[in-house]
Structure 1
C-alpha cells in the first residue's frame, strides 16, 4: 500500500508540474525575447531622436551607445551605413523600415529592431539596433534550468510528503491486519487500536464491536455447554438409579412407581434444558402467563424432589414459610433451577440439616437456603465462574444460579458465612398476580364447557 500511495502522489506531482511548467517555460521564453526587443527599440528610438535632417549632406551624427553586446547604426535612404555599427548595406528589416514601418524581428541569428527617421513627411533614414540571439537564448536556457530545478525540488518534496502520508495511512491498516491475523489464530481478546484517521477508526470500531458480539456469543455457547453438563449430571444420575431399581422389579405393580419417577425426572430435564437455552439466547426473561406458579407449591415440589437425596446421605431437608400468601406466584422454571443449584451446593459442600425459609417482604419474596457448614475466604467470589472454593466442584453451579437470578430481575447473595446462608430475593408484581388469578379463574370456568 505504501508504494501505491507514493506512486499515486508522484504521478499527480508530475502531471501538475508538466501542466504548470510547460506554459510557464513558454511564457518565460516569450518574455525574455520581448524584453530584449523592447531594449533594442528604446536604443533605436534614442538614436533616431539625435538624427538631424542635414545628415544626408554630410552633417555628422552622434548616436548613443549601443546596447550591451549589440550594435546601433544609421542608414540613409539608399540603405547604406552612415554612422554607428552594423552591416554595410541594410538588410531586410532596414529596407522595410524605409517604407515607414517599425520592424521587430529576428534575422541571421540576430534580434533586430529598425526605426524609420522621418522629416517633412518622408523617411530620410533608418536607425537599426541589433543584438545576438544567442545571448537571449542563453538567458532562456538559464531560466528554464532554474524552472526545472524548482520542478524537481517540488517533485522531491511531494515524494517525501507522500512517503510520510503513506506511513500514516498504512501503519493503522497494517496494525489492523496483524490484529485480524491474531484473531484468526483464536485470540479473541485482541482489539484494534485507534488512529488519527476517522475512516480507519470507524473500521476499527466496527471490527471491535463485531469481536465483542462474537466473543459474547461464544461465551454464551461455552456457558451453555458447561451449564448443561453441570445441571444434567445429577438428574441423569437419579434417572439411572431409578431405572436400575426398576430392572430388579418382577411385577408390573412395582414398575409403575419407577416409570413415574423416570417420567418426572425426564420432564425436569426438559425444563432444565429449556431454561439453559433461554439463558444462553436472551438478555432477559419474558415469561408467559403459564410460567408463574404458586410459591408454596414450588417449595413443596422442590422439597419432595430433593428430600430423598439428602435422606440417602443421612441428612434432613426442612422448609418453613413466614406469612407467605397462598396466591403469591413466582417464575417457576428459573426459580426451581436456582433453588435446585443451592440445594445441590448445600448437599455437596455443606453439612448437617438444610433449611429452606420463605419470607414475604411486601413487594418482594425471599428464599433463604441454610446448612450447617461455613464459607472460607471472600464470600463474593463463590459466584465467580470456575471458583470452587478449593473443593472438588467445577465452579459452575453458583455462577449459573446468579445468571438465572439476574435474568428474571432477582438477586442472589450470601447473607451469612457461618452457618452458610444464601438468600434468593424476587420482586413480586402484585398487578401481575391479579391478572394471573383472573386468567386462572376464567380458565376454570371454561374447562367444564369443554
Structure 2
C-alpha cells in the first residue's frame, strides 16, 4: 500500500511537472529570442540615427567614430551611397540575429549578433527550470513517504486490533490517528471490543454464578430426598417431602432460566408484585432441616402481610444465600425480620455469630472476596440478583451481622401498600 501511494503521488507530480515545465520552457525560449531581437533592432536604429546626424552636421563617418555605438559582441555594416561599406567589429560565424535599418538620406545599417549567446542564455534558463523540477520531485517524494507512513501505520495498527479481537482479546486500544475515516474505524473496533468484552464477562459470570447458585437448591433438594428416605414408612410425610422436593426442582429450573436470561441481556427483568410472606415461609421450610441438624433455629419477626416488587425466584435465591451464610459462618438463632421504610419493604437476616471481619466491611459484596475460605461469589451474586429488579442488598451491621434486602413496595396503582401489622417471633 505504501509503495502504491508513493508511486501514484510521484506519477501525479511528474505529469504536472512535464506539462507545466514544457510550457515554461517554450515561453522562456521565445521570450529570450524576442528580447535579443529587440535589442539588436534597437541598436540598429540607434546606429542609423547616429550616421544620419553625423552626415547632416558634416562630420566624418568612419569606423573609429562609430565603434562606440556598437556592442563588443556584435557586428555592424554601414553602407553610404557613393562610399565604401564601413564594418565595425568581427563578423560572427554560424547562425546570427540581424536587423537592417535605413536612414533618411539613404544610408543603411545592418547589425548582427551570434545566436550562440542566445543559446547559452536559454541553456541557463533550462538548468534553472530543471533544478526547480528536481526540487519539486524531491519534495513530492518526502511528502509521499510521510503521507504513506501516516496512512499505512494506522491501517497496520487497525489490522492488528482486528486480529486481537478475533483471537479473543477484547481490550479496546483507544488509539486515534488524526484521520477522520481511520478514527471512525477505530471507534467501531473499540465499540466492538467493549461489546465482546461484556459478552465474554457475562459468559464467565454465568459459569461462575451457575456453579454457585445451583449448589444451594441442589443441596436443599438432596436434604429433602434424604427426608423422604427417612420417612418412607409414613405415607403422608412422604407426600409432603416429595411436594417440597418438587418445589425445589421448580425453583432450580427458575434459577437456570434466570441465569440464561441474564447471560443474554443482564438488563432484562421479570419483576412482579408478589407476596413477600410466601417467599420467606418457603425459605424457612427449606432450611429447617439444615438448621435442625446443626442444633439451631430460624425465626421470623416483624411486619407481616408485605408485598414487594421483584422476581420471586431471585428474592428466594438472595434469602437462601443469606440464610446459608448464617448457618455456615454464623452461630445461634438465624432471624428474619421484615419492616417497611418509605415505599420499600426490608428483609433483615441476622444471627449471633462473630459477623463480618472488620477488614472486609462493604468489600464483602465483591467477587472473590471471602473471609472464611469460601468461593466469595455468594453475596456478590445475591447483590446482582437484587439490583437486577431494582432492589439492593446492604450490610447494615458488621457485628452481629445484619444483612438487609431492600425491595420496592407498591401496588398496581403506584401507591404504597399498608401492612397488616406486626407479628411476634415465630420459630421454624
Structure 1: where are the runs of 5+ without partners? Answer: 89-106, 438-450
**Cα deviation code 1:11-47 (max 9, x no counterpart):** 2322222222111111111111111111101111111
Could you tell me how far apart the structure 1 residues matched to 2:282 and 2:356 are? 28
Residue 68 of structure 1 and its aligned partner are, at CA, apart by 4.1
Residue 219 of structure 1 and its aligned partner are, at CA, apart by 0.9
Could you tell me how far apart the structure 2 residues matched to 1:355 and 1:241 are? 21
Residue 339 of structure 1 and its aligned partner are, at CA, apart by 1.2
Whether 2:259 is the aligned partner of 1:269: answer no
Q: Out of 348-357 and 246-255, give the one that drifted further.
A: 246-255
Whether 2:285 is the aligned partner of 1:304: answer yes
Residue among 310, 319, 327 paired with 1:339: 319
Task: Indicate the structure whose relative CO is greater, using CA pairs within 8 Å and at least 6 residues apart.
Answer: 2
Residue 369 of structure 1 and its aligned partner are, at CA, apart by 0.7
Could you tell me how far apart the structure 1 residues matched to 2:285 and 2:406 are? 22
Aligned length: 410
Match of 2:421 in 1: none
Match of 2:49 in 1: 49
How large is the RMSD of aligned CA atoms in angstroms? 3.3
Whether 2:297 is the aligned partner of 1:293: answer no
- Asked whether the equivalents of residues 52 and 104 of structure 2 are also in contact (C-alpha less than 8 Å), the reply is no
Residue among 346, 362, 367 paired with 1:366: 346
What is the TM-score of this pair, normalised by structure 2? Answer: 0.84
After superposition, the Cα gap between the structure-2 partners of 1:81 and 1:111, relative to the gap in structure 1 and judged at 3 Å, is: farther
Could you tell me how far apart the structure 1 residues matched to 2:415 and 2:69 are? 123
Whether 2:39 is the aligned partner of 1:3: answer no
Match of 2:423 in 1: none
- Asked whether the equivalents of residues 10 and 141 of structure 2 are also in contact (C-alpha less than 8 Å), the reply is yes
Could you tell me how far apart the structure 2 residues matched to 1:294 and 1:126 are? 131
**Cα deviation code 1:142-171 (max 9, x no counterpart):** 110111111111211222233233333333
Residue among 231, 239, 246 paired with 2:221: 239
Match of 1:400 in 2: 381
Match of 1:321 in 2: 302
**Cα deviation code 1:158-206 (max 9, x no counterpart):** 2223323333333333333344444444332352322333332222222
Residue 433 of structure 1 and its aligned partner are, at CA, apart by 6.1
Match of 1:110 in 2: 96
After superposition, the Cα gap between the structure-2 partners of 1:189 and 1:292, relative to the gap in structure 1 and judged at 3 Å, is: same
What is the TM-score of this pair, normalised by structure 1? Answer: 0.80
After superposition, the Cα gap between the structure-2 partners of 1:401 and 1:245, relative to the gap in structure 1 and judged at 3 Å, is: closer
- Asked whether the equivalents of residues 73 and 81 of structure 1 are also in contact (C-alpha less than 8 Å), the reply is no
**Cα deviation code 1:267-315 (max 9, x no counterpart):** 1112112322333333445436xx3211222211221122222222222
**Cα deviation code 1:312-336 (max 9, x no counterpart):** 22221111123x4x25333223222
Match of 1:166 in 2: 148
Structure 2: where are the runs of 5+ without partners? Answer: 419-428
After superposition, the Cα gap between the structure-2 partners of 1:284 and 1:187, relative to the gap in structure 1 and judged at 3 Å, is: closer
- Asked whether the equivalents of residues 230 and 397 of structure 1 are also in contact (C-alpha less than 8 Å), the reply is yes
Residue 232 of structure 1 and its aligned partner are, at CA, apart by 0.9
